[in-house]
Amino acid sequence: MDTYSIRHEIGIKTPPGAVYQALTDTKKLAGWWTSDTRGEGSRVGGVLEFWFGEYCKKFAVVELQQDTLVRWKALKNDAPDEWDETEIAFSLRAGEKQCYVHFSHSGWRRDDGMLPHCSTKWAVFLLSLKDLLEKGVGHPAPNDVQVNHD
**Contacting positions for a second copy (CB under 8 A):** 4-11, 13, 97-98, 100, 102-104, 111, 115-117, 119-120, 123-124, 126-127, 130, 145, 147-150
- Shortest gap between Cβ of 18 and a second copy (angstroms)? 15
Q: Which residues, at least 6 apart from 112, have a Cβ–Cβ distance to it below 8 Å? A: none
User: CA of 89: how far to CAs of 27, 49, 58, 69, 79, in Å?
Assistant: 19, 16, 15, 7, 24
Report the residue number, 34 or 119, with the smaller CB distance to a second copy.
119
Residue whose CB is less far from a second copy, 51 or 100: 100
To the nearest whole angstrom, how small is the minimum distance from the Cβ of residue 139 to a second copy? 13
Give the type of residue at 9: E
CB of 51 to a second copy, least distance (A): 23
CB contact at 8 A, 87 and 71: yes
